[in-house]
Structure 1
């Protein structure tokens, strides 16, 4: 459940929406339990369901608002820094990854945070494995353009002479 919630939070950027996504995922999984292929990983199947529900929600929002194609950034809103982002360097990494386009961001999340293989990421996102590799390569190149991460100066040495 925690992995589903993290993925829902990554996609939606809102805690309450992530909770709704996880709940809808569980309901759909129970309704379609017969579609689960024994011998496969249930967590990947559930992430694929969550991803599908999210895409349907984005499409429904567009229809409800009479909009054509829109950037994911316009649909998503961010409710503030995560409480867990207390470590400054981690927050910097998160901001840099967060600045990536949505498709790259979710691919990076599944591959590097959740530890899915490229094939598993491709299955969850329902894209060819080459697309996963391309998104990750592009994301790594974009992240490499940033200057090195900056640590926060130690407050106990602030103002001391050397």
Structure 2
């Protein structure tokens, strides 16, 4: 394997794992996904554009593989992991741990499109343009999804309702 591939891909692995775990909600599946992504990136390295943005290209591969797995998973029965506990590298206080659980739960309640955009931009620090390339959508769509995701996440974390209030519609026929 050429050294430029390793020099490019190695620093991306922690970010790829983080994004995969946020998408799949399972550490084992996420690690398998990252492995598949890296295998595909190495095998198709010749397809990587020379525009210097291999990071967006690799995230695109990971995102597409994740979406394929998620579509398949909806057709198959879901298996629950026996042990979902992960060792923490830093012990959080009880309050920090609870806040982290609240954020992760709120993220899980976001629609996939909003969660993906939010994670790519807020966590993985991709630009709007890079996120648009990864998700294969226009930059304006990235901006609107990000805005909706941030708003919904804020409402979920503050305990506000995320549903629109019901409107009373008068019946014109009955004069009601």
On whether the aligned pair clears a TM of 0.5, the verdict is yes
Aligned to 2:28: 16
Answer yes or no: is 1:142 the counterpart of 2:152.
yes
Q: CA RMSD in A?
A: 2.7
Larger radius of gyration: 2
Answer yes or no: is 1:105 the counterpart of 2:77.
no
**CA drift at 1:140:** 1.9
Aligned to 1:156: none
Q: Which of residues 43, 46, 59 is equivalent to 1:47?
A: 59
Q: 5 Å matches for 1:11-160?
A: 11-61=23-73, 65=76, 80=84, 83-84=87-88, 86=92, 87=96, 88-146=98-156, 148=158
* CA deviation vs aligned residue, 1:28-81 (integer Å, no higher than 9, x gap): 111111111123222221111011112222344456x4xxxxxxxx96968746
* CA deviation vs aligned residue, 1:82-132 (integer Å, no higher than 9, x gap): 554832333333322232112111111111011111111111111111221
| Whole-angstrom distance in 1 between the partners of 2:148 and 2:79 | 22
| Whole-angstrom distance in 2 between the partners of 1:76 and 1:101 | 21
Gaps of 5+ in 2: 1-12, 160-176
TM-score, with structure 1 as normaliser: 0.72
TM-score, with structure 2 as normaliser: 0.67
Are the counterparts in 2 of residues 14 and 77 from structure 1 also a CA contact under 8 Å?
Answer: no
Structure 1 pair 23–144 and aligned structure 2 pair: CA distance change class (3 A)? closer
| Whole-angstrom distance in 2 between the partners of 1:81 and 1:55 | 25
